[in-house]
């Protein structure tokens, strides 16, 4: 089995969503610290997005709200990124992500941390470890939550990290390119 088949086997699932309806399962009354419901990006969109962002061996990835870890695992396994870190509030998803990474043979390069992005004490840069310095951050969160996660995005962006947003445009950042549903930001062209 090729590594691409192996990766898709782990991540193709009925949780995938259509690009024009990014949050079909969003419910009213989510806790205030839930910045977006768990909706897994389609595997084809994951590959398209990482290619769109030009991910390669020079890159270290951070996914802010990493779900089942598919972006981090694909970045390392399919695009040869040096390392990837996923931050996820749901401990079950963190466990599943690490299991996927191990099953795909990238358990040491794709790592996952259970943390709340709204925690004022959280400093995402301290989570980099082997992924230091990050070069690309991935964001697939609700636009109305932006005030609650923008400090992380701003800090990464100001440090020269490219920001790839799925489904929603972000505010106050220089857009490098976009191709719906992908928006890539960065300080330098």
Ligand X SMILES: C[S@@+](CC[C@H](N)C(=O)[O-])C[C@H]1O[C@@H](n2cnc3c(N)ncnc32)[C@H](O)[C@@H]1O
Subset of residues 138 to 177 that bind ligand X, contact rule: CB under 6 A: 140-141
Q: Look at residues 46, 44, 68, 65 and name the one whose alpha carbon lies nearest to residue 55.
A: 46
Give 140's Cβ-side CA count (13 Å radius): 28
Q: Which residues between 108 and 127 bind ligand X (CB under 6 A)?
A: 116-118
If you ran DSSP here, which 8-state letter would residue 187 be given? S
Stretch that binds ligand X, among 31-39, 77-85, 123-131, 152-160 (CB under 6 A): 31-39
CB of 55 within 8 A of CB of 75?
A: yes
- 88 is a contact residue toward ligand X (CB under 6 A): yes
148: CB partners within 8 A, 6+ apart: 33, 35, 117, 118
Among 50, 61, 75, 93, binds ligand X (CB under 6 A): 93
Contact 162, 184 (CB under 8 A): yes
Which residue, 79 or 140, has its beta carbon nearer to ligand X? 140
Closest residue (Cβ) to ligand X?
65
Among 10, 50, 59, 65, binds ligand X (CB under 6 A): 65
- Cα 166 to its chain centre, rounded Å, is 9
Which of 53, 60, 61, 89 touches ligand X (CB under 6 A)? Answer: 89
Separation CA 114–CA 134 (nearest Å): 18
Q: Please give the size of the binding site for ligand X, defined by CB under 6 A.
A: 24
**Residue in 7, 36, 94, 163 binding ligand X, rule: CB under 6 A:** 36
Contact flag: residue 15 with ligand X (CB under 6 A): no
| CB neighbours of residue 98 within 10 Å | 17
Q: Name the one residue in this structure whose structure tokens are 């590594």.
A: 3
- 74 near ligand X (CB under 6 A): no
Residues that bind ligand X (CB under 6 A): 33-36, 38-41, 63, 65-67, 70-71, 87-90, 93, 116-118, 140-141
């Amino acid at each position: 089995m090729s590594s691409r088949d192996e990766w898709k086997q782990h991540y193709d699932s009925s949780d995938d969503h259509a690009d024009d309806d990014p949050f079909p399962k969003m419910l009213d009354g989510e806790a205030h610290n839930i910045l977006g419901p768990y909706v897994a990006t389609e595997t084809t969109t994951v590959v398209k997005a990482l290619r769109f962002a030009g991910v390669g061996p020079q890159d270290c990835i951070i996914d802010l709200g990493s779900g089942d870890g598919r972006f981090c695992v694909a970045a390392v396994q399919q695009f040869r990124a040096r390392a990837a870190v996923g931050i996820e509030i749901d401990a079950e998803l963190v466990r599943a992500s690490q299991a996927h990474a191990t099953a795909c043979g990238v358990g040491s390069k794709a790592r996952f941390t259970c943390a709340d992005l709204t925690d004022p004490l959280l400093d995402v840069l301290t989570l980099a470890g082997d992924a230091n310095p990050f070069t690309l951050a991935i964001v697939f969160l609700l636009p109305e939550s932006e005030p609650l996660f923008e400090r992380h995005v701003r800090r990464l962006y100001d440090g020269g990290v490219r920001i790839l947003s799925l489904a929603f445009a972000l505010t106050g950042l220089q857009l490098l390119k976009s191709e719906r549903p992908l928006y890539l930001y960065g300080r330098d062209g």
